[in-house]
A and B are shown apart, each in its own frame.
Chain A
Amino acid sequence: MNGEVRITPELVAEHGLTAEEYARILEILGREPNLVELGIFAVMWSEHCSYKSSKTHLAKFPTTAPWVICGPGENAGVVDIGDGLAAVFKMESHNHPSFIEPYQGAATGVGGILRDVFTMGARPVALLDALRFGDPAHPRTRWLVSGVVAGIGGYGNCVGVPTVGGETTFHRAYDGNILVNVMCVGIAPADRVFYARAAGVGNPVVYVGAKTGRDGIHGATMASAEFDERSEEKRPTVQVGDPFTEKLLIEACLELMASDCVVAIQDMGAAGLTSSSCEMAARGGTGIELDLDAVPLREEGMTAYEIMLSESQERMLLVLREGREDQARRIFAKWDLDFAVIGKVTGSGRLVARHGGRTVVDVPVAAVSGASPVYDRPFELPAPAAPYDPDERVDRIAADEALLRLLGSPDLASRRWIYEQYDYMVMADTVQRPGGDAAVVRIHGSNRGLALTTDCTPRYCAADPRTGGCQAVAESYRNLTAVGARPLAITNCLNFGNPERPAIMGQLVAAIEGMSEACRALDYPVVSGNVSLYNETMGRAILPTPQVGGLGLVEDLDRMVGIAWSEEGLRLLLVGDTVGWLGCSLFLRELFGLEAGAPPPVDLAAERRHADFVRGCIAAGLVRACHDLSDGGLAVAVAEMCLASGGGARIHLPPRVGLRNAWLFGEDQARYLLAVAPHTVGELARRAAAAGVPMVEIGDTGGDALILGDARPISLAVLRRAHEAWFPRYMEG
């Protein structure tokens, strides 16, 4: 049947391919493709799978360090964490599906990123979710928040991987395009990491997991197409996840990988069987022959097109050592999962598929997978925003009132409503729960831990994508440092609008440059990532959102700190320079309705110096609690520490402070707030001076109120109400 469909220009366009791209296909094949082949090229050359708009710029990321075992290019990045172990991690977006069907979209996003990690032989140990929603007042927002959070919890809780952190912010720019970015971290023996390289001509290609249905056919092209009013019609492309099957798949795959049966393994993610087989063959420099009649199917009468392009969840493709089929089959039978030998590795360099006695696909894998088009799209670098120059008007609002309003604003209110729907404790290794800076999961059976965080400040990126990209990396570095971890590497998810518009392309280019500069200066390479473009609805793009996921190592959990102190009478030390930068601050936005100015500059040398200092003090046991300063500045940081501690604090304003609120709420970078025992202040000051790190004593802990200079004391109860009330009240409607 398939071979008989005439390939018209309309059909080519419907597949999201340009006329030039189609001409290229004709050239590669030396003939017209049939419909199945057209579908294969379309998904493999979609933005989502081919990175055709971002590839040339992504090459700027620094990706190596002595501890990097595997950088970008595989299913996930791999770094050495000592003791013969490796951390395997990656972040991925599921933005469009989550906008259409928030529960299943978010749930299958979790499923997909889990597979990227256990496919490399790592047991997933933590999940994080970075979420961007539209204006809380937008009629769809509440429904989206509730569905996305339930979906992430529904999947993560069931597979039994703790969701330990993330981010959630709201901005009207996401009204028509929410962002759901999920990060997964796993741990594997460093010498037993598995790669997706099909090798060994004659080795069997094996399908395991759930059966193939008509789910999400053309999901990958959907994820790359700009939303328009017709997206309603694309609805059936939503997949339904089955976390129970995923859990079985994790256990079965890890059990199999502990044997020596596996040559290569790859999850079937976007573009399912097509991308997994093409990529495995392309990476291995081999070919693959598939018998589509052997693929386990959920529905009758599925065509070759549907089988090749289905995005049914919870499936994996393996290359086994010849003769190990039965050993592998027994493991999958034990876990009640489908197992089928569906092909073999060849030396032809081609992907060949047969169905119903006919050859339905015969394409060269290198061209499909490697030689996809690359676009050096024109870009315009954005003009830098003019700095905002605050005047005495910002001090007209009392500090206590400003703080309460900020703490109760959508972007700063407590995320308890979200994270209590996530099982953040399963696996019994979560030693820093959500609510602080970085989450920390213990490396099972040891006294060491992985520190994890996701960060990005889209309002900074909108005003200046280069500084914003730099800041996102720096903030993640600080969050890891604040618990005492040594930052090792990042993953990322670049969420932008339509790259065919030079202004958007400029944001992408500038953000990548800013991130790269920060990664280089901080010795903090990029080991994996994902790009999500075309996040636009009817010409309105999201804020540029280069989401960063950071991973660090805590060498001694007895020396880890959190944001809570447990004693009165501790001294509060502010590390870093405070000029009172209000441009792009939450203070301006929430209290004056101003989204104005340039973002705070990022001094990477200072970031590194201050972080080394703070980490050193924590390792020396000199710090009782630590918090990095970010959204809302000093006042918000100290308030969050008070809330976590259940105790009050007093902040003394320095004598010549200038604008009080700028000092309290400014978002200058490279800063930390430390709570330390009084008798160690001298030692800390000596260390700071020696390291050239600015540090001032600004207050102490005690009582049951927070007192900001001469403002009215805010009782802890009032503070807590302001912080906790917004989310549940909003969600109740």
Chain B
Amino acid sequence: MRAAVVTFPGSNCDRDLAVAMEAVFGRPVLRVWHADSELPPVDVVGIPGGFSYGDYLRPGAIAARSPILRAVIRAAERGVAVLGICNGFQILTEAGLLPGALIRNVGLAFVCREVELEVATTASPFTCAYPARARIRLPVAHHDGNYVADVETLDRLEAEDRIAFRYLDNPNGSARGIAGVLNARRNVLGMMPHPERACDPKLGGTDGIPLFRSLLSALVA
């Protein structure tokens, strides 16, 4: 399983994501710099959380126009798995790889807490190792996690089974409780909660591990 994690100026969960991936995948994760215009050959690319470019203009907006993102888009078109977490999710929507957008939380404040989620589909390389309709706990930590999209898009996401995770207790006002969405081809996932922070019992939970296990079983077939 070959994996890479991209670092943008202002990324701050890049190490956390690489550590979690390395623990589950059992081999080193490549680190890629935002100014690179090529990705190494990999099976999965992680776009980590943080505040790329300070979240200025709109969260993820500037990172979405960086050289590496063009390479990520090409990789996604080739079928490489792309996982965007938190700021990574914002970047993927800004880049047009995923529908919708993430705006300021309804409560206006940053929110850092553990939330309960439902795994809304197991039909994806990111969620296949979870039991169907599993209820899991993952941390969220964001200021702009309020998922918005127009009604047709939301209906289409539901009809096509592209909602990966839903909040059971919506912390940010997201439309229809959406915490994570898939692209049509199902090889790109964006999610606000942090599975990489829930891969170690010492950190308070392990519900993130099946996400990385899913990738391992789906991609190393």
Do A and B touch (CB < 8 Å)?
Answer: yes
Q: Say whether, besides A425-B139, A425-B141, A420 and B10 are in contact (CB < 8 Å).
A: no
CA distance A431 to B202 in the complex (A): 6
Chain B, 175-199, contact with A by CB distance < 8 Å: what is the 0/1 string?
0000000000000000000101100
B131 contacts the other chain (CB 8 A): no
CA distance A420 to B112 in the complex (A): 5
Chain B, 134-145, contact with A by CB distance < 8 Å: what is the 0/1 string?
000001010100
CA distance A424 to B10 in the complex (A): 17
B218 contacts the other chain (CB 8 A): no
User: Which chain A residues lie closer than 8 Å to B20 at the CB level?
Assistant: 428
Contact residue among A153, A247, A426, A430 (Cβ-Cβ distance under 8 Å from B10): A247
User: Which chain A residues lie closer than 8 Å to B10 at the CB level?
Assistant: 158, 244, 247-248
**A428, B197: Cβ atoms under 8 Å?**
yes
A335 contacts the other chain (CB 8 A): yes
CA distance A419 to B113 in the complex (A): 9
B54 contacts the other chain (CB 8 A): yes
Q: Say whether, besides A158-B55, A243-B54, A557-B202, A426 and B13 are in contact (CB < 8 Å).
A: yes
List A residues 244-263 near B (Cβ within 8 Å).
244-245, 247-248
Contact residue among A247, A426, A429 (Cβ-Cβ distance under 8 Å from B141): A426
Count of B interface residues, CB-CB < 8 Å: 30
CA distance A321 to B200 in the complex (A): 43
A559 contacts the other chain (CB 8 A): no
Contact residue among A159, A336, A431 (Cβ-Cβ distance under 8 Å from B12): A159
The distance from the CB of B194 to the nearest CB of chain A, in whole angstroms, is: 8
The distance from the CB of A442 to the nearest CB of chain B, in whole angstroms, is: 7
B80 contacts the other chain (CB 8 A): no
Contact residue among B19, B56, B110 (Cβ-Cβ distance under 8 Å from A157): B110
Q: Say whether, besides A428-B197, A557-B202, A243 and B51 are in contact (CB < 8 Å).
A: yes
Most buried by A among B141, B194, B204: B141
A291 contacts the other chain (CB 8 A): no
**A244, B112: Cβ atoms under 8 Å?**
no
Chain B, 1-39, contact with A by CB distance < 8 Å: what is the 0/1 string?
000000001101101100110000000000000000000
User: Which chain A residues lie closer than 8 Å to B12 at the CB level?
Assistant: 158-160, 247, 426-427
The distance from the CB of B24 to the nearest CB of chain A, in whole angstroms, is: 14
CA distance A422 to B143 in the complex (A): 10
Contact residue among A244, A419, A425, A442 (Cβ-Cβ distance under 8 Å from B51): A244
Contact residue among A245, A423, A428 (Cβ-Cβ distance under 8 Å from B19): A428
**A248, B9: Cβ atoms under 8 Å?**
yes
List A residues 142-183 near B (Cβ within 8 Å).
150, 153-154, 157-160
Nearest-neighbor residue (CB-CB) of A244 within chain B: B54
CA distance A713 to B56 in the complex (A): 52
Instruction: Decide if the interface of chain B is mainly helix, strand, loop or mixed.
Output: mixed
**B202, A442: Cβ atoms under 8 Å?**
yes
**A421, B110: Cβ atoms under 8 Å?**
yes
CA distance A159 to B9 in the complex (A): 11
**B111, A421: Cβ atoms under 8 Å?**
yes
The distance from the CB of A182 to the nearest CB of chain B, in whole angstroms, is: 17
User: Which chain A residues lie closer than 8 Å to B203 at the CB level?
Assistant: 425, 428-431
B149 contacts the other chain (CB 8 A): no
CA distance A423 to B141 in the complex (A): 6
The distance from the CB of B111 to the nearest CB of chain A, in whole angstroms, is: 6
Chain A, 551-574, contact with B by CB distance < 8 Å: what is the 0/1 string?
000000100000000000000000
CA distance A430 to B200 in the complex (A): 11
A242 contacts the other chain (CB 8 A): yes
User: Which chain A residues lie closer than 8 Å to B110 at the CB level?
Assistant: 150, 153-154, 157, 420-423
A433 contacts the other chain (CB 8 A): yes
The distance from the CB of B61 to the nearest CB of chain A, in whole angstroms, is: 14
CA distance A159 to B197 in the complex (A): 17
**A423, B112: Cβ atoms under 8 Å?**
yes
Chain B, 98-118, contact with A by CB distance < 8 Å: what is the 0/1 string?
000000000001111100000
Q: Say whether, besides A421-B111, A423-B110, A428 and B51 are in contact (CB < 8 Å).
A: no
User: Which chain A residues lie closer than 8 Å to B51 at the CB level?
Assistant: 157-158, 160, 243-244, 247
Interface CB pairs A-B, < 8 A, 5: A150-B110, A157-B112, A423-B112, A425-B141, A425-B203
Using A423-B141, A428-B20 as known contacts, list a sample of 12 further A-B pairs with CB atoms less than 8 Å apart, ordered by residue number in A: A154-B110, A158-B51, A160-B12, A243-B51, A244-B53, A424-B112, A425-B197, A426-B12, A428-B13, A428-B197, A431-B202, A557-B202
Closest 7 A/B residue pairs (Cβ): A160-B12, A244-B54, A428-B16, A158-B51, A423-B141, A421-B110, A423-B112
